Structure 1
Amino acid sequence: MLLRQLTIAALAASSYAQSSSSIVLTGTNSVISGADYATGSQLSYESYASTITLNTTSGAGASSTARPQNQTITTNGTALTTTSATQTLLSGSARNTTIATGRTATSSSARPTNTQPCNGYPEFCNRKYSNITQVGAHNSPFAVRGNIAANQELDVTTQLNDGVRMLQFQVHKPNDTAPLLLCHTSCDLLNAGTLVDYLTTVREWLDANPYDVVTVLMGNYDVLTPQNFTGPVYESGLDRYAYTPPTVPMPLNDWPTLGEMILTQKRAVIMLDYEADQVAIPWLLDEFANFWETPFSPTDRDFPCNVDRPPNQDREISSDRLYIANHNLNVDVQIAGLSLLIPASTLLNETNAVQGYGSAGAMVNNCTADWVRPPTVILVDFYNVGSFNGSVFQVAADANGVSYNRDSCCGTMQRTVNAATSKKVSSVIVAAAALAVAYVMV
């Protein structure tokens, strides 16, 4: 344990001292893997030779078996329905819903004026879930102050208030009797508490924000059976909002509009990266049947927009699926027997920027050129840090063809990281690394 602590101290300091496009710090005895998701030969990706129709009305695991809700939602005296001129409209402005043409086309046909934003924008109410680019928080729960394994600075409630709409994280089960925990690679490294507590917080936020749709992506780090995840979802109450798609996989144009998801109160898209079984549990979506991802935990500032997971997927299939652009730059640190990926902190102002080399804006432009549509999710570390407050949200707004209010972010704090920081910690890097290596030699 002491060795791990000493090594982590070295890693903490080293994260401030890099600047090249792809960085690897090497040491001795590099034997422990620090992968940010489940790895190994036991992993498999479901291959769907044909589309499966899911049971959305009855049976164990169907979303309709969750707590029933009225089709008309009333909160604080406001009803979410389009049946009365005095009630909030959720029709939105008309837009071209053909995904392959991107986000810019609009229709000139007359439509009612929407008075209520969906996910922050009136324009989104009439747009399909698959036709919106959203900001995702990579390792959302890992916002533990003073822990170098943290990927965020602000808690999940603040993330959602600021506009984050995908929450991604790892789930671990340390032993047979332990609850599902939110840990970063190892629960010795960072333990952010139980899955049920976290999901309860998300459900409470959805209760208070009835016009928003949130996506929860759980990393099945220990490759558990999917039934392990149903208990925490039901116990948290999040099941009442769980969206069940009509089929698996889901083509792009089959996704509902945000307005439809809000009116039916199916406002939580819940996914599992490995071992999902949508026939048994229709509302627990198989991530890689519905999404693909660019390279995970990238260390390359070019951020290539190729399909990394699922591997070897045909381009024709990828072109008809949602996709996540992993835009969280890491440093691959190998020292004193550990190999870990840690956030490239000193480059956050550039990585989360609207434009420039290695920026989120440049990545979205490249992906749009490659796939004729922007990413569904821009997954980032420390979303509150960038070229200005909320710059990653500006990138998403530009991809969506809407206007972003720069005064709406971020929480109560904003950190700026610059090159001067690396000079202040250079002596700490040397001391901590030397201490860790010296301990190995004792």
Structure 2
Amino acid sequence: MRAACLLSLLAVGPVLAQNTNSNTDSDSLEQAISESLADIASSITTTIDEATIPTGDYLTYSTTVFLTDHGSVLGSTAVEVTETSGSENSTTSNATLTTTSDSVTVLMGGQTTITANGTNNITHTSTPTASQTPVVNTQPCNGYPEFCNRKYSNISMVAAHNSPFVMQGNVAANQALGVQYQLDDGVRMLQFQAHVANGTVNLCHTSCDMLNAGSLDDYLTSVASWMRQHPYDVITLLIGNYDYADPGNFTAAFESSGLMDLVFTPPMIPMGLDDWPTLGSIILSGKRALVFMDYQANQTAYPWLMDEFSQIWETPFSPTDRAFPCNVQRPPGLADNDARARMYMANHNLNIEFNIASLNLLIPNTALLNETNADTGYGSLGRMADNCTTRWNRAPNFLLVDYYNEGNFNGSVFEVAANLNNVSYDRDSCCGTLSAASSVVPRGMMTAVLMLVGVQILMSGF
């Protein structure tokens, strides 16, 4: 009953927020709301209970598995599947895999000098060519000619957390602008949560009753359309398999959307930090969409659908701590030397946590977006990037953020990525449309206030 009341509040939130915005005193009211929520958010120090962190099967490969040009598997090697619950691990099954690596032509990028930041930790650098007079490519790869001869694993990119969840006034939304805006502005990883029902994959946040962004097919069709118009860009997709569904459920959407024609198949499983090809070679191959899945990936059957956690580790999930510690949380128990041998993602999407009876609710902390997505300062993306670089002696590969278009200036999240990549960012290139970007945060504030009111109603026994 209480959960139903809460969902009702979520449903009416956008309407009430819109009506409030139409009042003559809306600007001053929303300013007061913003300041009030900022005070509340700053005082929250709770962290997510370990029980709320997603758990599932984590794969451990004892031997490298090589794939053919067509993605088929040859030979055999043991793959250990570990099911994690809390801090206990137990081996549950074994599988077999293998292969042959293929070669591709490499685009040449501009030659740069390896540099280090103030803490003597190396940030991303381009790989010099062997030639005395290197060929300089004037066609940018992911926006920068310098990236063409860098390994995919030697680049930091902005990742849109829950990319499809764009719905003004809905407390479960995570972005203000749609996927094509995101890609136009420079987002190069698209992360989302998928739910499978009756053979259809929909993009929903926790529950399809809370926020349903439509079918995976429609979303991927938009991504494929953009990619065909931008042949020099490499896009990464990270699927959150919320229902731990069989990966075969996802193939139809990739095929019907046309994105399967662009999907990258790795030459080996798993791909270590130094095994990834350059962006130029990926682009020349025509297979420019790299697809990862967090749980239940089966690369024996679907070599292109890459297992995330055997190749990427993550910092704490759904963070509520503004210090954003840069420690490994998933996969659990990963040794430092193993973490240093793979890519990693910095989760920098700040949340507020509400506990109502048995319901645990996290919502984006929109009150602090200007600080969370900033390039400098406490709690900022820039600060976390520096801390991560210091901790691991290399920069994060993926910077996962909410409302990427907000920050202490337009494009602040992209400036952070550019600094890590040792390139210059054009601040005039971001973000989306002014009207779309300027209205979402106050409405998000209003909805959050409605949520706080709803909490009081629910706790009073309504």
TM-score tier after normalising by the smaller chain length: 0.7 to 0.9
Return the offset for 1:182. 0.2
Aligned equivalent of 1:45? 58
Gaps of 5+ in 2: 18-32, 74-102
Going from structure 1 to structure 2, the CA distance change for 1:98 and 1:203 (only over 3 Å counts) comes to farther
Aligned equivalent of 2:403? 382
Are 2:33 and 1:20 aligned? no
Are 2:284 and 1:284 aligned? no
Are 2:115 and 1:102 aligned? no
Paired amino acid for 2:388: C
Aligned equivalent of 2:228? 207
- Alignment check: 8 A CA contact 1:349 1:416 kept: no
Are 2:114 and 1:92 aligned? no
Are 2:420 and 1:399 aligned? yes
SS in 2 for 1:180: strand
Return the offset for 1:54. 2.1
Are 2:157 and 1:134 aligned? yes
Are 2:430 and 1:409 aligned? yes
Provide the C-alpha distance between the structure 1 equivalents of 2:122 and 2:383, rounded to a whole number of angstroms: 19
Aligned equivalent of 2:171? 148
Provide the C-alpha distance between the structure 1 equivalents of 2:206 and 2:420, rounded to a whole number of angstroms: 32
Are 2:139 and 1:122 aligned? no
Return the offset for 1:434. 3.0
Provide the C-alpha distance between the structure 1 equivalents of 2:292 and 2:4, rounded to a whole number of angstroms: 36
Provide the C-alpha distance between the structure 2 equivalents of 1:418 and 1:212, rounded to a whole number of angstroms: 30
- Alignment check: 8 A CA contact 1:7 1:336 kept: no
Return the offset for 1:230. 1.2
SS in 2 for 1:151: coil
Provide the C-alpha distance between the structure 1 equivalents of 2:47 and 2:346, rounded to a whole number of angstroms: 25
Paired amino acid for 1:50: T
Return the offset for 1:237. 1.1
Going from structure 1 to structure 2, the CA distance change for 1:285 and 1:201 (only over 3 Å counts) comes to same
- Alignment check: 8 A CA contact 2:47 2:320 kept: no
Going from structure 1 to structure 2, the CA distance change for 1:52 and 1:22 (only over 3 Å counts) comes to farther
Going from structure 1 to structure 2, the CA distance change for 1:273 and 1:97 (only over 3 Å counts) comes to farther
Are 2:312 and 1:294 aligned? no
Return the offset for 1:359. 0.5
- Alignment check: 8 A CA contact 1:156 1:202 kept: yes
Return the offset for 1:427. 7.3
Relative to the length of structure 2, the TM-score reads 0.79
Return the offset for 1:112. 2.0
Return the offset for 1:53. 1.2
CA shift digits 1:336-393 (9 cap, x unpaired)? 5421111111110000000000100010100000111100000000000000001000
- Alignment check: 8 A CA contact 1:139 1:167 kept: yes
Return the offset for 1:94. 2.7
SS in 2 for 1:187: coil
Going from structure 1 to structure 2, the CA distance change for 1:239 and 1:93 (only over 3 Å counts) comes to same
Are 2:350 and 1:329 aligned? yes
Going from structure 1 to structure 2, the CA distance change for 1:335 and 1:404 (only over 3 Å counts) comes to same
SS in 1 for 2:208: strand
Aligned equivalent of 1:54? 67
* Count of matched residue positions in the alignment of Structure 1 and Structure 2: 404
SS in 1 for 2:274: helix
Return the offset for 1:146. 2.1
Provide the C-alpha distance between the structure 2 equivalents of 1:183 and 1:201, rounded to a whole number of angstroms: 17
Aligned equivalent of 2:371? 350
Are 2:391 and 1:370 aligned? yes
Are 2:258 and 1:245 aligned? no
Provide the C-alpha distance between the structure 1 equivalents of 2:203 and 2:344, rounded to a whole number of angstroms: 24
Aligned equivalent of 1:434? 456
Aligned equivalent of 1:230? 251
Provide the C-alpha distance between the structure 2 equivalents of 1:113 and 1:242, rounded to a whole number of angstroms: 27
Provide the C-alpha distance between the structure 2 equivalents of 1:294 and 1:426, rounded to a whole number of angstroms: 26
- Alignment check: 8 A CA contact 2:126 2:150 kept: no
- Alignment check: 8 A CA contact 2:292 2:305 kept: yes
Match of residue 201, structure 2, among 177, 180, 194: 180
- Alignment check: 8 A CA contact 1:136 1:164 kept: yes
Paired amino acid for 1:57: H
Return the offset for 1:425. 8.4
Return the offset for 1:437. 3.1
Going from structure 1 to structure 2, the CA distance change for 1:58 and 1:133 (only over 3 Å counts) comes to closer
Relative to the length of structure 1, the TM-score reads 0.83
Paired amino acid for 1:219: G
Provide the C-alpha distance between the structure 2 equivalents of 1:98 and 1:399, rounded to a whole number of angstroms: 10
Aligned equivalent of 1:5? 7
Provide the C-alpha distance between the structure 1 equivalents of 2:161 and 2:452, rounded to a whole number of angstroms: 29
Provide the C-alpha distance between the structure 1 equivalents of 2:305 and 2:134, rounded to a whole number of angstroms: 35
CA shift digits 1:99-148 (9 cap, x unpaired)? 99432477494312321111011111111100000000000000112211
Aligned equivalent of 2:213? 192
CA shift digits 1:76-112 (9 cap, x unpaired)? xxxxx99xxxxxxx41113579999432477494312
Match of residue 158, structure 1, among 181, 185, 195: 181
Aligned equivalent of 1:170? 193
Going from structure 1 to structure 2, the CA distance change for 1:49 and 1:97 (only over 3 Å counts) comes to farther
- Alignment check: 8 A CA contact 1:98 1:253 kept: no
Provide the C-alpha distance between the structure 2 equivalents of 1:425 and 1:46, rounded to a whole number of angstroms: 40
SS in 2 for 1:251: coil
Match of residue 360, structure 1, among 381, 384, 393: 381
Provide the C-alpha distance between the structure 1 equivalents of 2:455 and 2:283, rounded to a whole number of angstroms: 52
Paired amino acid for 1:133: S
